[in-house]
Amino acid sequence: MSEAGAVLAASGALAHAAAWSDEEIVERVLGGERALFELLMRRHNQRIYRAARAILRDEADVDDLLQDAWLAAYRHLAGFERRARFSTWLTRITVNLALDRRRRLASTAAARRAALGPAAALVGAPAGDPEQERRAFELAQRLERAVDALPEPHRLVYLLRQVQGLDTREVAECLRIPEATVKTRLHRARALLRAALGDDPDPAAGSAFPFGGARCDRLVAATLRRIG
């Protein structure tokens, strides 16, 4: 088969598999159909991007972290025991890796500041109505800035619950906290965002922190190269 034919065959297989559940795809990947792992990546990239973005906030760090999360998921796929949904298991991996990376980055930054001494403190730190789309984009941008300013526990809950659309139970499972804590943090996050924006933040939540298109393609390609 020619290279072009192989690409078309792979695309057809992925399209056929699109209706399968995550768990069915996992079983097939473990059974040797490794190309199907790409479908899991494209299905969940935005979810784990939003989780990682809530913790790291630096886009370059987030892109590196997402590759690490997918690589870890692939290497430990046989350990997925279905006690939770695949998406929950994957989000936990992402959150844990992001927290670990942030700790390491903070430690490195602290060591660098100590080495530089006091002088370091001198360094600064679908188509629609165009006008409606512009307003929606601007509101999403304002919301993103306001979410970035939230304390991390509230930011993480808001991103998973309101931006990504997980239910309260799923957020609690991903973060390993009680559902009551999720509700409390979400309530506080909404209050802080209303105060910052002067309006209800939720209508713009679904449009905030998007992840797709060429950026998704680059992440998939880079991760698949690392998987080999």
CATH of the domain at 70: 1.10.1740.10
**Residue 155: CB atoms within 10 Å:** 23
Is residue 1 assigned to a domain? no
The pLDDT, as a whole number, for residue 9 is 45
**Domain boundaries, position 88:** 17-114+212-227
Is residue 29 assigned to a domain? yes
- Enter the pTM of the model: 0.80
Using alpha carbons only, give the angle 206, 210, 212 rounded to the nearest 5 degrees. Answer: 130
Q: Is the pLDDT of residue 2 over 90?
A: no
Closest CA to 35 of 66, 58, 10: 10
Read off the pLDDT band of 150 (50, 70, 90): very high
**Residue 219: CB atoms within 10 Å:** 20
Each residue's pLDDT tens digit, 151-190 = 999 999 999 999 999 999 999 999 999 999 999 999 999 9
Is residue 198 assigned to a domain? yes
Each residue's pLDDT tens digit, 112-124 = 444 444 433 333 3
Is residue 8 assigned to a domain? no
Interatomic CA distance for residues 101 and 111, integer angstroms: 15
Interatomic CA distance for residues 186 and 190, integer angstroms: 6
Is residue 89 located within the same domain as residue 36? yes
Task: Tally the domains of the chain.
Answer: 2
